[in-house]
Amino acid sequence: MFIGFSRTVQTQAPPSGQPPQNLPRPRLGGAAGYIQFVSAGGKVRLPAGEQIRLPVAGAVAVAAGKDAASFKDASVGGTHVRIYTTRLNGQTAIEIARPLTEVDRVLGRIRLLFLAVSLAAIAGAVGLGMAVSRRSLRPVTRLTDDAERIAATGNLSERTDEGRSDELGRLARAFNTMLEALSSSVRSQRQLVADASHELRTPLASARTNLELLELHDTLTADERGRIVADALVELREMTHLIEELVELARGDVKAPEKQETRLDHLAEEALANVARRTPIAFRTYLEPTVVEASPVAVTRAIGNLLDNAVKWNADGAPIEVTVKDGAVTVRDHGPGIDPADLPHIFDRFYRAPRARALSGSGLGLAIVRQVAEAHGGTVTAERGEDGGSVFTLNLRAEPNGS
């Protein structure tokens, strides 16, 4: 750009061979331009007293009218200049050059300033990022330390700080919830082991006593030996049944049942057929077609346990009523009913009412029913019948009725 020149450049070419005399003068404070004339034949004419020539590349074409006026940068005598070339008439072009020294100096200072500002900005950003990341990661570090300490000590009662309201606080709350669930699972396992060892001790001790009697007393009659062996076999069968139910409970705690669409009334029929082979008691059934999302094996086992419990307590000669409707199985017996003091504990593991302690059983059957119900998102309830007996209802999440 050539701001600073006056607009007194002559519009007519100078006489042949003579340099122009009416040259433009710079404005106040402006840099003086350097001028030369180039003919269409390539001849260069300089103003009086000038010796340095400007590059003429492209000027001949402008003088001949082949190219339009244009700017270009060049180095003349070691000075960086910008040259403006335009046509004066049909045979002459004028080249006006101005030095870019001041512009280059200013750009250099701006470049250094920009580099310094950029480096300062990068350093500030790095420092700020490190401070923010250190502050942001402090809760993660604390949570990691808590997890490592709990893993090393095995103390599941400890908790980490969950007071934050952001995602890290949510992670801390989830971690504490996981610890609570794990602690509850460990407590349940320990309680199961303790209860199982207590329940297994009695049949084992009884069977061992009977076998020791056989070993120590050679004078026992055949009837006495047969009675002792029969008692030992009963105790071993009870122990076998207890172990099977313990395995069932443990399997249910560890692995969720695989559910599928199945007919609840068909599962009830299968369970009824299994129980009917072991008892002469009659069953009165009301089975409506009902489709549920459930594990057939687990639900059949739960219904069978309800039926076994009803057979154990039912009055002689009275039928057991079984109803399937709207995703629920109801089993009613006509026995003595459930004592109100026993109702809150009837589904607890190894719980046996005072009247049940003289009967066979492990106290795990109804606990398995509750476990199956909870695994399916359902419920199981027990209540006294209006005219005596007990009513147990296993309620699952039902789908639309099937055919």
Could you read off the pLDDT of 354-377 as tens digits, one per residue?
666 556 556 677 888 888 888 888
Cα distances from 329 to residues 43, 371, 386, in angstroms, run: 115, 15, 18
User: Do residues 192 and 270 share a domain?
Assistant: no
Single out the residue in 56, 76, 99 at which a domain terminates.
99
132 falls within a domain: no
**Distance (Å, rounded) from C-alpha 357 to C-alpha 162?**
48
State the Cα–Cα distance between residues 349 and 191, nearest whole angstrom: 9
The DSSP secondary-structure symbol of 355 reads G
pLDDT tens digits for range 165-217: 777 778 778 888 888 878 777 776 676 666 666 556 666 777 777 777 777 77
Q: Is 232 helix (H, G, I), strand (E, B) or coil?
A: helix
Residue with tokens 């590349």: 57
Are 235 and 332 within one domain? no
Question: Which amino acid, residue 38?
Answer: V
Q: Bridge-partner residues for 98, per DSSP?
A: 82
What was the pLDDT predicted at 400? Answer: 46
Q: Domain for residue 110, yes or no? A: no
Q: In the prediction, which pLDDT does 42 show? A: 82
What Cα–Cα distance (Å) separates residue 151 from each residue in 113, 126, 162, 208, 237? 55, 35, 19, 42, 42
Is residue 107 domain-resident? Answer: no
Looking at the structure, tell me whether residues 237 and 272 fall in a common domain.
no
Tell me how many domains the chain contains: 3
Same domain for 224 and 298, yes or no, is no
Question: Is position 242 within any domain?
Answer: yes
Grade residue 111 by pLDDT with cuts at 50, 70 and 90: very high
**Does residue 141 register a pLDDT over 60?**
yes
CATH code, domain with 176: 1.10.287.130
At 385, which CATH number? 3.30.565.10
Q: Which of 254, 283, 304 is the last residue of a domain?
A: 254
Kindly tell me if the per-residue pLDDT of 221 is higher than 60: yes
Same domain, 266 and 387: yes
Average pLDDT along the chain = 78
Residue 15 lies in a domain: yes
Same-domain check for residues 197 and 307: no
- Residues 278 and 381 reside in one and the same domain: yes
Residue 56 CA to residue 35 CA, distance in Å, equals: 12
Residues 324 and 302 in one domain: yes
Asked if residue 183 is part of any domain, the answer here is yes
277 phi, psi to nearest 5 deg: -70, -20
Q: Residue 132 has what pLDDT?
A: 84
Residue 157 within a domain: no
Angle subtended at Cα 165 by Cα 163 and Cα 169, rounded to the nearest 5 degrees: 60
Whether 275 and 219 share a structural domain: no
Distance set, CA 207 to CA 168, 195, 204, 358 (Å) = 58, 19, 5, 17
Listing DSSP states for 125-194 in one string gives HHHHHHHHHHHHHHHHHHHHHHHHHHHHH--TT--------SHHHHHHHHHHHHHHHHHHHHHHHHHHHH
Residue ranges making up the domain that contains 22: 1-99
- Mark whether 318 and 368 lie in a shared domain: yes
> What would the two tokens of residue 219 be?
């004078």
296 plus 345 within the same structural domain: yes
- Confidence class for position 268, pLDDT limits 50, 70, 90: very high
Of 50, 83, 99, which closes a domain? 99
Domain contains 209: yes
Mean pLDDT over residues 307-326, rounded? 87
Question: Do 246 and 195 belong to one domain?
Answer: yes
